[in-house]
Amino acid sequence: MASATDSRYGQKESSDQNFDYMFKILIIGNSSVGKTSFLFRYADDSFTPAFVSTVGIDFKVKTIYRNDKRIKLQIWDTAGQERYRTITTAYYRGAMGFILMYDITNEESFNAVQDWSTQIKTYSWDNAQVLLVGNKCDMEDERVVSAEKGRQLAEHLGFEFFEASAKDNINVKQTFERLVDIICEKMSESLDTADPAVTGAKQGPQLTDQQAPPHQDCAC
């Protein structure tokens, strides 16, 4: 199971300093919506049909090229704490982007989106970007949340919206890339307007808890 990108085993990757920016991204939402599957699909291009045990996974690292920049993504997955709503504030610290996920076959997970959104707004940096993702769109026959309802809620909350499937690999890469793009857009916007939250880095996020980024400015 361990791959070169696993946090515990990825000495090679995690000590790799060859990147322009590092973004901490969190995947949150109710238990069983497919967060761990979504992360595995993106980071390892794999899918395990059985319930994926999340125990022991802190984050995975994936480095991508976007806008001529090498961007290292540190993608965090909850280790089952979401079941008890006991995600600690430390987990949110420094996050620049969120994938807020529900399951299109599970109404309860959709109804919880508002609460998760409130948590994000309470515990994270003001400029953190959020994408709402309706996962399991391969299960059309069991759908209980229409795409339209998802879109409307996203609009109401001010988030962008995707339906996706970790199983069939639909919109997984697109979700992460769009999130990276809007984080970059926000960063350059903030720099343009000399927003002290970014330029002064006083109220801004620590790009990582682990190490200082090589550059804090962003021109992408």
Backbone CA torsion sign across 83, 126, 66, 14: negative
21/116 with CB nearer ligand GDP: 116
Residue 67 binds which entry of ligand GDP, Mg ion, none, CB below 5-8 Å type-dependent:
none
Residue 167 binds which entry of Mg ion, ligand GDP, none, CB below 5-8 Å type-dependent:
ligand GDP
Regarding 36 and contact with ligand GDP (CB under 6 A), the answer is: yes
33/43 with CB nearer ligand GDP: 33
Count residues binding ligand GDP (CB under 6 A): 18
Regarding 139 and contact with ligand GDP (CB under 6 A), the answer is: yes
**Structure tokens that stand for 167 in this block:** 């199983």
Per CB under 5 A, which of residues 37..96 are in contact with Mg ion? Answer: 54
CA dihedral 157, 31, 34, 142 (to 10 degrees): -80
The 147-186 site mask, x for binding ligand GDP (CB under 6 A), equals ------------------xxx-------------------
Regarding 109 and contact with ligand GDP (CB under 6 A), the answer is: no
- Considering only CA atoms, which of 98, 113, 126 is closest in space to residue 203? 126
Task: Please name every residue paired with 130 in a beta bridge, in sequence order, or none if there are none.
Answer: 98
Regarding 138 and contact with ligand GDP (CB under 6 A), the answer is: yes
Q: Could you tell me the strand order of the sheet in which 69-77 lies? A: 59-66, 69-77, 21-29, 97-103, 129-135, 160-163
Regarding 144 and contact with ligand GDP (CB under 6 A), the answer is: no
For 48, how many CA atoms within 13 A lie in the half-sphere containing its CB? 12
